Structure 1
Amino acid sequence: MAAISKPFGRQIIRSRAEIGVPVLLLAMFGTVLPAAAHTTSNAFVLLLPTGYYQFGGTLAVALSVIFIFLVPPRMLAEGFRRRVSLGAIPVPSSLWTSAVAATGLSFLILAGFLGSPDPRANPLPIAIWSLLWVGFTFLQALFGDLWHFCNPWHAPYRLLRRLMGTRDGWLTYPAWLGYWPAVLSFFAIAWFELVDLAPDDPTRLAYAVLVYWAITLIGMLLFGEAAWLARGEALTVFFRFMAALSPFATTEIAGTKRRLVSLGWPGERLLRLEPLPFDGICFVLLTLGTVSFDGLSKTFWWLALGGINPLEFPGRSAVVTLNTFGLLMLWLLLVVCYVLCCGKEQAKAGRQALSIIPIALAYHFAHYLTVLLVDGQYALKIASDPLGLGWDLFGTAGLYVTTSFLTTYHSVVTLWNLQAGAIVAGHVMAVVLAQVMHNAGDDVRRWRHLPLALLMILYTLFGLWLMSTPSAG
């Protein structure tokens, strides 16, 4: 993918409007929650002059801390929880939609083994890393729990149970296991994406997807569908948190195939979730830590730790051990710092961790927007010839994939503003959620949250450094 050189980036943002507006917005809508840069060759780095950018970001977060301290959380709670009914809609059977999803996944795995070895010509890498991990995450956060209908395990599991004549789960899911299976599997997914030698290789990815699908199905057989998917399967847990950001919510109408739809404030559904246990906090912080490490792993500073010249990067094989260690250590450091700063407010920690989710989505959008715009075109192209046999099923096989929006002035400005706007919106949502979740009735208890606020300020500085420091790739 085409990259934007720093001189060109600085030329763009030297416009008064383009410097003043983002800095003003950041100053107005900053938050105490961490801002984690996700800077790779597939993302735009927001190239403001480093000193002004870090000062503006730090000031924004400091003002957010003051704002949260002065405004009682209960003031927004009642209004924030209000919803407007939009009527009833019919819903399809999740059994049939899951069967379609499982069939599609089977075809993608087959294409990974038999299709083109070129990741840009094979549908599996595009479908997994771009359409599912990127595009579907956005849809989930916008429209709600679509994953309930697209889950590729529901229908196969029901069929397997019918053929085997077994009950739902052979064992009782142990309470001590908690979210740890989801934490382990999410770490494995992140490691495969960020550290593995060739995560885009179709055959390699096909084996990984097949193994993951089988492990999930085995977990469902052992502990039951609902129990395993609720805490043991990483994608379901991750998408459930993303769906809680949606302004839409549905309620089943007993005895019918229709659901009532209501509209509320984005993120309001996070307030309905139970406070997370320690393992749940670890899961949320892992989603944040992986985003942060993706940026850190490409900085000149990090590569220098491994004795690697970033201007002559030898490839992923040279940093497998270093990046594995770094990914694990950054996550553990986040967990330790978060727990220490929460102190005796461990019950609050489980709820406050949920307010980090909007920040994770905002940076997910900011990082992956250009990926989706480019790979979406490749998806249309591949759809006409998924197995590389010279077909043109939909007339898009000859589609010209353009990256002009990565090089033209106005397109780059538009994309930059969309990314910055998403980050600001995520911060605003997080501030409101943090206020409502705080729910502290006296100043003494509220002072106890200052260590956590300080941690978030420092972590924001770390994120701003990631976005401004030179990086390779």
Structure 2
Amino acid sequence: MTDRPVTVLAHGLGGSTDLPIPYTYALIGAAWALTFTFAVVAFAWRRPRFDPDKPGRALPQWVTTVVDAPVTRWVVAAAGLAFAAWVAMAALFGPRDGNPLPGVFYVLLWVGLVAVSLAIGPVWRAVSPVRTVYRLLRLARLPSRDRYPRRLGYWPAVFGLFAFVWLELASPDPGSLGAIKLWLLIYLVVTLVGAIACGQRWFGRADPFEVYSVVASRFSVLRRNPQTGRIEIGNPFDHLPSLPVRPGAVTLLAVLLGSTAYDSYSAMPAFRNFVDRHTDSVASASTLHTAGLLFFIAVVVVTFWCAARATGGVDKDTRRKLPGLMAHSLIPIVLGYVFAHYLSYLVEKGQQTIIDLADPLGRGWNLLGLGDAEVSYILSLHPSVLATIKVGCVVAGHVGGVIAAHDRALRVLPTGYQLTGQLAMMLVMVGYTFTGLYLLFGG
């Protein structure tokens, strides 16, 4: 045995509680994914069906009226600001052990935000404390600007999301309260200053959490009618192509997919032992993890970009646009893998975070009767159920991605290339799914 400190970096909260899936489950999931992919390509519909302009079933008018009412917007915004202040109080004055800040940051904000956005829409627009502060400054006669450069696209959000996943997966001490507080301070300053300088568009293109929320919401059954603005229920595949095609969209989704895949890979015993053998300090381990994280993201970018452009019969300008036009098909895969990887993490560590929030200063408070509450490990205690859910999430995400890519190919590719032009993309998606199942199997 050696006395050298272990330099393998853990997850931001000490590792996901999800268990590896059994080998048999992985094989079954892979077989279903492969079969469905080629069934879609060979036998599915021959004309595009999904249209973001297609109306859904409108909810009662009062739903839209209540949601859009200024009092509702301000109440929700005030609640988000109050929650942020509560968490800030815990971060600044609460105990080191049992502090809710890491749970809020890594569980509620990163994973819970996806679940809520998928269920009801881009909720971060309504609850963002930074956006609320900006609105208050506007009320105080802050000059209104609209100077966001179109060429920037989603690139500021890409760097923000990478900064988050780097802190979580590759930084020297991802669970450090000081590191999280510094990250949030930089986020607050950059987001607010950017909005003041560039106008309100900054939030929808540069705020990493708002962009992440919008991406997840594109697969929600709830949406607004593009003509009337009324809230309605519709086919999520009609909503999916409404993701704006902007510079950085492919890299944005690659950061989300590649980082989640790397989280699984970095938890594999073989890789952890490799890091421990070949690094002699926390800094060198962080460097190795940073390189690994960048590699996984780059693989997604390169493979998707090449697959999207690997078709004939299109002119040079259309071929250049194809990766952006196909980018929304990655959203179901991202969502499926996020839930497969972080489901029990959300359910179980999320419970602990809420319990910690009920006593933010560690003084024995019993808010909402949570002082004596205990975490229910409902998923970890039923590994076969958890494994089934994980495989189902990965395969369902794959199926959603294949369907979205197939329909988009029918819309943008010439008639003679609609079948052959899809094969490269479908093979890449199968590769993502097989890799995801392998990483979940071995993680």
Tell me which interval the TM-score lies in, with the shorter structure as reference length: 0.7 to 0.9
- Distance of 1:373 and 1:188 partners within structure 2: 25
Structure 1 partner of 2:77? 98
- Distance of 2:380 and 2:348 partners within structure 1: 10
1:45-64 → structure 2 map (5 Å cutoff): 45-49=20-24, 53-54=26-27, 57=30, 60-61=33-34, 63-64=36-37
Contact kept in structure 1, 2:50 and 2:237, CA below 8 Å: no
Match of 2:59 among 69, 73, 86: 86
Matched, 1:284 2:219: no
Contact kept in structure 1, 2:395 and 2:433, CA below 8 Å: no
What is the TM-score of this pair, normalised by structure 2? 0.84
1:27-176 → structure 2 map (5 Å cutoff): 41-49=16-24, 53-54=26-27, 57=30, 60-61=33-34, 63-74=36-47, 76-77=49-50, 81=54, 83-88=56-61, 89=63, 90-91=66-67, 92-93=69-70, 94-118=73-97, 121-163=98-140, 165-169=141-145, 172-176=147-151
- Distance of 2:421 and 2:378 partners within structure 1: 50
Counterpart residue type for residue 133 of structure 2: P
**Change in CA separation of 1:176 and 1:85 when aligned onto 2, cut-off 3 Å:** closer
Contact kept in structure 1, 2:18 and 2:380, CA below 8 Å: no
Structure 2 partner of 1:11? none
The secondary structure found in structure 2 opposite 1:77 is coil
Structure 2 partner of 1:319? 285
What is the TM-score of this pair, normalised by structure 1? 0.79
Query: How many Å apart are 1:301 and its aligned residue?
Result: 4.3
Query: How many Å apart are 1:144 and its aligned residue?
Result: 1.3
Match of 2:185 among 183, 195, 210: 210
**Change in CA separation of 1:290 and 1:214 when aligned onto 2, cut-off 3 Å:** same
Query: How many Å apart are 1:212 and its aligned residue?
Result: 0.9
- Distance of 2:135 and 2:289 partners within structure 1: 40
- Distance of 1:429 and 1:63 partners within structure 2: 11
Matched, 1:382 2:351: no
Query: How many Å apart are 1:342 and its aligned residue?
Result: 2.4
Structure 1 partner of 2:312? none
- Distance of 1:222 and 1:106 partners within structure 2: 25
Structure 1 partner of 2:425? 452
Root-mean-square deviation (Å): 2.9
Matched residue pairs, number? Answer: 413
Query: How many Å apart are 1:294 and its aligned residue?
Result: 0.9
Match of 1:230 among 170, 192, 204: 204
Matched, 1:249 2:223: yes
When structure 1 is superposed on structure 2, of 96-105 and 146-155 the one drifting more is 96-105
Match of 2:163 among 181, 188, 204: 188
The secondary structure found in structure 1 opposite 2:224 is strand
Match of 1:414 among 372, 385, 397: 385
Match of 1:391 among 362, 365, 368: 365
Match of 2:302 among 300, 318, 336: 336
Counterpart residue type for residue 415 of structure 2: D
- Distance of 1:79 and 1:133 partners within structure 2: 27
Runs (4+) of structure 1 exceeding 6 A deviation are none
- Distance of 1:450 and 1:341 partners within structure 2: 8
- Distance of 2:356 and 2:150 partners within structure 1: 45
Cα displacement string for residues 155-207 of structure 1 (whole angstroms, at most 9, x for unaligned residues): 211222444x43223x7222222211111111000101111233333343223
- Distance of 1:187 and 1:79 partners within structure 2: 29
**Change in CA separation of 1:43 and 1:105 when aligned onto 2, cut-off 3 Å:** same
- Distance of 1:159 and 1:79 partners within structure 2: 33
